[in-house]
Structure 1
Amino acid sequence: MLDLVKALANDKRLLILRWLKDPVANFPPQRDGDLVADGVCSLLIAQKLGVSQPTCGEHMKVLSRAGLVRGRKIKQWVFYQRDEQRIAAAKELLGSDW
């Protein structure tokens, strides 16, 4: 529960979750990996967020630890998707409509 609260306590992480809900509308096409099937490259997330890759990596680690996203490595990059089942469970747990 503490990991979940920590993940949701940051505006940038909430933005990432919002963007990942509709990756095609929020990110440009990728050279490697499909935005929907494979997730969004961490490099694109960092660029859109306006932060360095290490900073983005920390945000993604917190979201992953909370179970809200899952990462998949393709070549040297990690691609992220929302974990909709875990998000639904978190919403139920917190009684929220975020």
Structure 2
Amino acid sequence: MDRSTQIKAMSSAVRLRVLSLLAEPQKHFGHQWSADAVEFGVCMTMIADALGVAQPTASRHLEILRQAGFITVRKHQKWSYCKRDTAAIDAYLGWLRNELLLE
């Protein structure tokens, strides 16, 4: 994975908020009716609403998170669903700890 892309992804308060929201999809998106938020992921439209931003703005942030490997995006019919990749986030944090000689 390209670490510079991951660093860029983590450098935005909005993207950190997305990762935080997706850490507890049932809590934040339990009202999603089109698919199970935990199993399938969260609809991009609902993420945009939760952030209070326009759909294109949310899509841009989500694409950066996808490129960094921190979320997966799954299409179903006309919607796209996002799911947090905890293993990828943990690997990044481990790398960062090691780079900063914190271990």
TM-score band, normalised by shorter chain? over 0.9
Q: CA deviation at 1:85?
A: 1.2
User: For this pair of structures, how many residues does the alignment match?
Assistant: 96
- Name the residue aligned to 2:101: none
The one of 37, 46, 49 aligned to 1:47? 49
Cα distance, 1:28 vs structure 2:
3.9
With normalisation by structure 2, the TM-score equals 0.89
Runs of 4+ with deviation above 4 angstroms: none
- Which residue in 2 is equivalent to 1:81? 83
SS at match of 1:38: coil
Show the counterpart of 1:30.
Answer: 32
Identity across matched positions, percent = 35
Q: How does 1:1-16 map to 2 (within 5 A)?
A: 1-16=3-18
- TM-score, with length taken from structure 1: 0.93
Are positions 1:63 and 2:65 aligned together?
Answer: yes
State which structure, 1 or 2, has the greater radius of gyration over its C-alpha atoms: 2
- Give, in whole Å, the separation in 2 of the partners of 1:51 and 1:28: 20
Structure 1 stretches lacking a partner, 5+ long: none
Moved more, 37-46 or 24-33: 24-33
- After superposition, what is the alpha-carbon deviation per residue over 1:22-60, rounded to whole angstroms, capped at 9, x for unaligned? 011112422211000001000000001011111000000
Q: Report the residue type matching 2:85 in the other structure.
A: D
- 1:73 Cα shift? 0.6
Pairwise CA RMSD: 1.2
1:90 CA displacement: 0.5
Unpaired stretches in structure 2, ≥5 consecutive residues:
99-103
